[in-house]
Structure 1
Amino acid sequence: MDYTIEKKIPSYFQGNQTISKKDLVDGIRKDFPNLKESSINVYLSKLKKEGVLKNPTRGIYALQGNNEFCPVINSKLKRLFNKIKKDYPFIDFCIWNTIWLNGLMRHQPFKYYTIVELEKDVAQSVFYKLKDKGKQVFLEPDTETFELYIHNSDDVIIIKHLVSEAPVIETENIIIPSLEKLLVDMIIDTNLYGAQQGELDFIYESAFSKFEINQGKMKRYAQRRNKEKEVEHRMNLTLAKN
Structure 2
Amino acid sequence: MSYIDQSDIRNWFENDRFLTTDELVKRLSLRFPDAKAGTLHAKLHRLKREGLVRNVRRGLYAAGSKREFEPAVSKELAGLSKKLRKRFPYLESLCVWDSRWLNEFTVHQALSSIVIIESERDTEKAVFEFVKASCSRVFIDPTPKEIDNYILGCEKCFVVRPLVTEAPITSSGDVSIPKLEKILVDLVCDKDLFVSFQGEELRNIYRRALTDYDVSLSTIRRYASRRGRLEEVNRLIEQEGESI
1:129 alignment partner AA: F
Distance 2:152 2:54 in 1: 41
Query: Who is 1:222 aligned against?
Result: 224
Distance 1:123-1:241 versus aligned 2 partners, 3 A rule: same
Normalised TM-score (structure 2):
0.76
Distance 1:197 1:120 in 2: 27
Distance 1:134-1:184 versus aligned 2 partners, 3 A rule: closer
Secondary structure in 2 aligned to 1:121? coil
Query: Who is 2:236 aligned against?
Result: 234
The alpha carbon displacement at 1:154 in A equals 2.8
**2:174 aligned with 1:200:** no
Distance 1:141-1:54 versus aligned 2 partners, 3 A rule: same
Query: Who is 1:23 aligned against?
Result: none
Equivalent runs, 1:1-242 vs 2, <5 Å: 6=10, 44-45=18-19, 49=24, 54-57=54-57, 63-91=63-91, 92-198=93-199, 199-239=201-241
Distance 1:129-1:229 versus aligned 2 partners, 3 A rule: same
Distance 1:124-1:106 versus aligned 2 partners, 3 A rule: same
- Asked if structure 1 preserves the Cα contact closer than 8 Å seen for 2:185 and 2:224, the reply is yes
Distance 1:224 1:185 in 2: 11
For structure 1, the 5+ residue unaligned runs are 11-39
The alpha carbon displacement at 1:130 in A equals 2.0
Distance 1:176-1:55 versus aligned 2 partners, 3 A rule: closer
Distance 1:186 1:148 in 2: 20
Distance 1:111 1:134 in 2: 16
Per-residue CA distance 1:83-142 (angstroms, 9 max, x = gap): 110111121110000000000000112211111011121101111122233532000111
Distance 1:137 1:240 in 2: 38
Secondary structure in 1 aligned to 2:110? coil
Q: Which has the larger radius of gyration?
A: 1
- Asked if structure 1 preserves the Cα contact closer than 8 Å seen for 2:54 and 2:214, the reply is no
The alpha carbon displacement at 1:180 in A equals 0.4
Overall identity of the aligned pairs, in %: 29
Distance 1:137 1:72 in 2: 22
The alpha carbon displacement at 1:239 in A equals 2.8
Distance 1:190 1:55 in 2: 29
The alpha carbon displacement at 1:55 in A equals 4.8
Q: 4+ residue stretches of structure 1 with deviation over 6 A?
A: 7-10
Distance 1:110 1:134 in 2: 19
Distance 1:142-1:55 versus aligned 2 partners, 3 A rule: same
1:131 alignment partner AA: K
Distance 1:148 1:116 in 2: 20
Q: Indicate the structure with greater helix content.
A: 1
Distance 1:225 1:128 in 2: 27
Distance 1:125 1:240 in 2: 42
Calculate the aligned-residue CA RMSD, in Å: 2.9
Query: Who is 1:34 aligned against?
Result: none
The alpha carbon displacement at 1:9 in A equals 6.6
The alpha carbon displacement at 1:61 in A equals 7.6
